[in-house]
Structure 1
């Protein structure tokens, strides 16, 4: 399978997964010749600074879009117009109008579009989804998610302008998948400076509430840590994890019930590799798309609502 990988920043996380496989050929596309050559050479891939080639070359099956968020939707639409499948980094758009255009175009095209909701492939999160779906511990009453990180990614801003779309979107996906859409939202913020801030959102539901805390105020020695506490009518699930800049977490999930506490046995998984495994399996006809654009709309709507409360209406 031939893949056109657009972007040399976060695209390198995808490139590392592709490089470990033997069933794909990848060309890395970027604007800066030297930077693109360095990123592609790191993984043994071909480099190109001609973005049109990604869409015009009939040999490419999939366009993998790891560009700045405002460019996501337009590049997905261009890939579909060119008859390509598309994988796009989250969020798939920075506004609902563009997101709906992506959903509609994907449904008309006959091609598959995947949104990199990699958190859906984290075993700890899948344990939570399973518990809610199967009513393992009764009804979910309270869900608290947290993600506290140091500035592990040089040059990346983690201030109030970026935290909602870059850091909270996955959590909003977990919340909407387990509790649905909220009836009310309260948001509190604190900014140390333009690139270091924290946000806490409290969401109200009928008979339940959720809280999400994200912070980029931690020292380097802290690294990145996160998790959730899910309180059900008949028990509690607690997830604790640590993560480095490579995005590969390690952690535990513990179930607490009237019978005591036990640690769940979860499969080891790299969520980026699992996400790309899923994409390629879908394109081979071996799986059904779990990260299609339509499945992301509720989470994106909620994320954009929080972003408006934090940053006001953005000018495009």
Structure 2
């Protein structure tokens, strides 16, 4: 397996996984800043390049991992497939539903596989929540609150209100869409930070439930990343909390509350970024069926775009 890793910002997290992965023989990193490329070469021993055209023309590259800025995701996913490569695309897949469908159409036309880095789906706590909703073990879900707080951990990457929903809330909104579907009404408000961060909250109403998704990028760098989830069912409450850094290795807890008492649920430790890459490689080897296809992300992307449009419209008001 030879992988082309596009991007030296968030690509650092993926590079760490590839460096330790037995199924990845070679990684070539593309970037536009020689100093950042040299840092990755020194840290991981990877080959680096500023020549993107050469990467797409290289027949030995099997997988293109896209960690470029969000507006470039769809363009490069389509280009990679047309060049005969499979694709792992950082979330979100695209900045519009039309562009997401362009990726899906290219996948069907080329027969390549595309994986979207929906890392939150591989969180053991989110897997537990999703299964609890599916099998109805606690009765109907009535309220769901998910919160993410982060410092600006990736050099040169700001999270203002014009990008917060797409880049910081999308994973959580995807989980909400998975367990509750599309809401009947959406309210979103936000606050612009100074100079590089922001905070926002989305309230989603359903016929028999309410969901709230909150994100903030106003934390100081030593804070890292943290957050949690509270799901209230008719027969129980589930609460999670997590802490993490830019490496994607969260430390999380899950507590179940019922009329009979309080129970800490034993969760496996898992690097969710590594879990996504492991899953993609298993799919490419024929050992698994993809949980992160472009089609599977459309409901979460529609919801995220709805929240994004409300937040950006508030900036223009």
Question: Shorter chain as normaliser: what TM range?
Answer: over 0.9
Distance 2:105 2:238 in 1: 37
Distance 2:291 2:250 in 1: 21
* DSSP-derived class of the 1:216 partner: strand
Determine whether 1:256 maps to 2:257.
yes
Q: Which residue of 2 aligns with 1:184?
A: 185
Give TM-score scaled by structure 2 length: 0.95
Distance 2:252 2:116 in 1: 25
Greater Cα shift, 34-43 or 15-24? 34-43
Q: What pairs with 1:55-134 in structure 2 (closer than 5 Å)?
A: 55-134=56-135
1:33-67 alpha-carbon deviations (Å, 9 max, x no partner): 34223213311111122111222111111111111
Report the CA distance shift for 1:108/1:124 in structure 2 as closer, same or farther (over 3 A).
same
Distance 2:259 2:104 in 1: 44
Greater Cα shift, 107-116 or 287-296? 107-116
1:159-199 alpha-carbon deviations (Å, 9 max, x no partner): 21221111110011010000001110011212232422210
| Cα displacement (A) at 1:220 | 4.2
CA contact 1:150–1:220 (8 Å) conserved in 2: yes
| Cα displacement (A) at 1:72 | 0.6
Report the CA distance shift for 1:313/1:56 in structure 2 as closer, same or farther (over 3 A).
farther
Uncovered stretches (5+) of structure 2, i.e. residues with no partner: none
Q: Which residue of 1 aligns with 2:6?
A: 6
* DSSP-derived class of the 1:40 partner: helix
1:2-24 alpha-carbon deviations (Å, 9 max, x no partner): 11111111111111000001221
Determine whether 1:15 maps to 2:15.
yes
Distance 1:78 1:94 in 2: 16
| Cα displacement (A) at 1:221 | 4.9
* DSSP-derived class of the 1:182 partner: coil
* DSSP-derived class of the 2:144 partner: strand
Distance 1:143 1:302 in 2: 15
| Cα displacement (A) at 1:312 | 3.1
* DSSP-derived class of the 2:173 partner: helix
CA contact 1:189–1:199 (8 Å) conserved in 2: yes
Determine whether 1:197 maps to 2:209.
no
* Deviant stretches of 4+, over 6 Å: none
Distance 2:285 2:93 in 1: 23
Determine whether 1:145 maps to 2:164.
no
CA contact 2:74–2:93 (8 Å) conserved in 1: yes
Q: Which residue of 2 aligns with 1:247?
A: 248
Q: Which residue of 2 aligns with 1:28?
A: 29
Report the CA distance shift for 1:287/1:138 in structure 2 as closer, same or farther (over 3 A).
same
Uncovered stretches (5+) of structure 1, i.e. residues with no partner: none
Distance 1:5 1:154 in 2: 17
| Cα displacement (A) at 1:91 | 0.8
Distance 2:103 2:207 in 1: 31
Report the CA distance shift for 1:171/1:28 in structure 2 as closer, same or farther (over 3 A).
same
CA contact 2:153–2:221 (8 Å) conserved in 1: yes
Report the CA distance shift for 1:192/1:79 in structure 2 as closer, same or farther (over 3 A).
closer
CA contact 1:62–1:84 (8 Å) conserved in 2: yes
Q: Which residue of 2 aligns with 1:168?
A: 169
* DSSP-derived class of the 1:193 partner: coil
Distance 1:80 1:153 in 2: 28
CA contact 1:27–1:40 (8 Å) conserved in 2: no
